[in-house]
């Protein structure tokens, strides 16, 4: 089997996403707004106790990275798959002459990558270039701390796309098994606190750190961002990348096994 059908899905998704420019603009405005509030709050916290594992400039960069790369997070199952389950069209998914797990993975990667690459550029322009120009340089999105950090970040964030997509496929399978898109409703409960989206994980209590580092969702936000501003360097950065890789492999293996079981006795519903 070749990779061609999967690449075609990637390309189609990009073209589709680029049609939604108004939605992207609304998203951009929302992200600027959120980023601004979060930064003012964190600046106020840091004014009272500045000595922390990461400094204020790093938290600000973390915030902008988080807003720009928001689309990488697996909040819910793939909308197309949810719809297919609810209408019975999931039968078509099984009829396509491609492996369903790989198909769903490719679709999730395409959706995440297309969605994010469209949104990260304006966010970067606004936060890294415009902010210093209008005199708010202290609030700017900084460059990676070193060329090495930049390279490791590029690797790590690519793994984030895979990790997030592998988890999305797990959500898809849960939706298929329970026959309702609500099956994925609890995903944000895990994803937002454990990825570091609500509070950077390094600012959580010290005794929680080993657990927080090795649980799967750290690889979505915390690990790549800390590599970006060289809070994780050398062996620690490699350990982070290893944790991401480990969870991708486990998610894919679990997803394939689970899908085989679910698809063996899936009911079709709909008219």
**Residue 211 binding other proteins, by CB under 8 A:** no
- By beta-carbon proximity to other proteins, the closer residue of 87 and 180 is 180
Residue 90 CA: distances (Å) to CA of 9, 36, 104, 215:
17, 42, 12, 32
CA gap 114, 18 in Å, rounded: 8
| DSSP sequence for 243-258 | HHHHHHHHHHHHHHHH
What tokens were used for 149? 């950090």
Least distance to other proteins, CB of residue 23, Å? 6
Q: Which of 15, 44, 95, 264 binds other proteins (CB under 8 A)?
A: 44
Contact criterion met (CB below 8 Å) for 160 and 220? yes
Examine residue 16 and tell whether it contacts other proteins (CB under 8 A). Answer: no
- Among 5, 52, 54, 233, contact with other proteins (rule: CB under 8 A): 52
Among 4, 133, 189, 264, binds other proteins (CB under 8 A): 189
Footprint of other proteins on 81-140 (CB under 8 A): none
For other proteins, the closer CB: 42 or 248: 42
Min dist. Cβ of residue 215 to other proteins (A): 14
Q: Could you tell me if 100 and 259 are in contact, meaning their C-beta atoms sit under 8 angstroms apart?
A: yes
Q: Which CB sits closer to other proteins, 31 or 61?
A: 31
185 binds other proteins (CB under 8 A): yes
Query: Residue 1, interface with other proteins (CB under 8 A)?
Result: no
What's the closest the beta carbon of residue 25 comes to other proteins, in angstroms? 7
What residue spans of the chain are helical by DSSP H? Answer: 4-17, 21-48, 56-68, 79-87, 90-95, 100-124, 131-133, 147-178, 187-195, 209-214, 222-228, 234-264
* Contact by Cβ (8 Å): 155, 98: no
Binding-residue total with other proteins (CB under 8 A): 34
Least spacing, CB of residue 205 vs other proteins, in Å: 6
49 sits near other proteins (criterion: CB under 8 A): yes
* Residue where the block lists tokens 């490699």: 238
Question: Could you tell me which of 203, 267, 213 has the C-alpha nearest to residue 239?
Answer: 213
Q: Which residues make up the interface to other proteins (CB under 8 A)?
A: 22-23, 25-27, 29-30, 33-34, 36-38, 40-41, 44-49, 52, 180, 182, 185-186, 188-189, 192-193, 198-199, 203-205
């Amino acid at each position: 089997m070749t990779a061609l059908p999967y690449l075609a899905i990637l390309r189609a998704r990009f073209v589709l996403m680029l049609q939604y420019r108004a939605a992207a603009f609304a998203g951009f405005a929302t992200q600027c707004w959120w980023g601004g509030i979060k930064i003012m709050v964190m600046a106020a916290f840091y004014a009272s106790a500045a000595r922390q594992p990461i400094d204020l400039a790093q938290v600000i960069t973390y915030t902008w990275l988080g807003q720009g790369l928001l689309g990488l997070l697996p909040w819910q199952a793939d909308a197309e798959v949810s719809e297919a389950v609810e209408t019975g069209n999931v039968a078509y998914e099984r009829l396509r002459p491609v492996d369903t797990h790989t198909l769903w993975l490719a679709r999730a990667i395409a959706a995440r990558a297309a969605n994010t690459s469209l949104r990260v550029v304006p966010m970067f322009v606004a936060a890294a270039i415009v902010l210093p120009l209008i005199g708010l340089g202290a609030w700017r999105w900084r460059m990676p701390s070193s060329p090495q950090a930049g390279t490791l970040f590029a690797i790590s964030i690519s793994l984030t796309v895979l990790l997030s997509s592998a988890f999305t496929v797990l959500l898809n399978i849960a939706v298929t098994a329970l026959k309702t898109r609500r099956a994925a409703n609890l995903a944000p409960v895990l994803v937002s606190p454990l990825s570091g989206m609500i509070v950077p994980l390094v600012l959580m209590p010290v005794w929680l750190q080993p657990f927080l580092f090795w649980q799967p969702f750290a690889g979505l936000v915390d690990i790549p961002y800390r590599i970006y501003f060289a809070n994780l360097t050398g062996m620690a950065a490699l350990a982070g990348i290893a944790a991401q890789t480990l969870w991708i492999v486990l998610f894919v293996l679990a997803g394939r096994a689970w899908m085989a079981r679910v698809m063996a006795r899936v009911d079709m519903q709909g008219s």
